[in-house]
C-alpha cells in the first residue's frame, strides 16, 4: 500500500478519506470561507499539502455536484499536481471561476483527487505509414 505524507493547514476541515467507501477518489474541502461574485476568479484553499509517493502525480477535479451547489467551474479542467509540489507551504488550491454569486463555507466539499503513476519515458519513432485500419478521422466511430 502506498503512503502519502500530509500536512493540514486547518483543524476546521475533515481529515481526508475515500468518498463514502464507494470510490477511489478522495474529496477535498475548502479550508477558508470564500465569497465570490459572478465572473470572479479565485484560488480556493484546500487546506492540505502532500508528499506523494515517488513516481506518482495527483489529478484534481471538481466534484460532480460542485457546479450545481456553488456555481463555480475549475478553470484548468483537471489540475495536475506533480511530485515536486511537496513543500511545507505548498497548499493545494482549486482555481475556480464563479458563474454566479456564491459563498463556499469552510469544510464544503468542492474538489476531489486521485493519484496516478507517472507516464513512463517514451521515445517517438517517426514513420510515413502507421499500417493500421483507418477509423475515418476525428470524431469517427469508424462506421459510414
Active site residues: 82
Q: How far is residue 108 from each of residues 6, 18, 28, 119, measured CA to CA in Å?
A: 19, 16, 8, 32
Cβ atoms of residues 28 and 107 within 8 Å: no
| Residues facing 51 on adjacent strands | 5
> Rounded to whole angstroms, how far apart are CA atoms 47 and 10?
6
Amino acid at each position: 500500500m502506498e503512503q502519502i505524507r500530509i500536512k493540514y493547514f486547518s483543524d476546521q476541515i475533515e481529515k481526508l478519506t475515500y468518498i463514502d467507501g464507494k470510490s477511489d477518489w478522495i474529496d477535498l474541502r475548502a479550508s477558508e470561507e470564500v465569497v465570490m461574485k459572478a465572473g470572479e476568479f479565485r484560488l480556493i484553499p484546500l487546506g492540505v499539502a502532500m508528499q506523494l509517493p515517488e513516481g506518482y502525480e495527483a489529478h484534481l477535479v471538481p466534484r460532480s455536484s460542485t457546479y450545481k451547489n456553488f456555481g463555480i467551474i475549475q478553470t484548468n479542467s483537471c489540475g495536475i499536481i506533480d511530485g515536486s509540489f511537496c513543500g511545507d507551504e505548498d497548499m493545494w488550491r482549486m482555481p475556480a471561476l464563479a458563474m454566479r454569486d456564491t459563498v463556499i463555507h469552510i469544510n464544503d466539499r468542492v474538489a476531489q483527487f486521485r493519484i496516478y503513476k507517472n507516464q513512463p519515458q517514451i521515445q517517438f519513432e517517426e514513420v510515413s505509414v502507421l499500417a493500421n485500419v483507418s477509423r475515418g478521422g476525428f470524431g469517427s466511430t469508424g462506421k459510414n
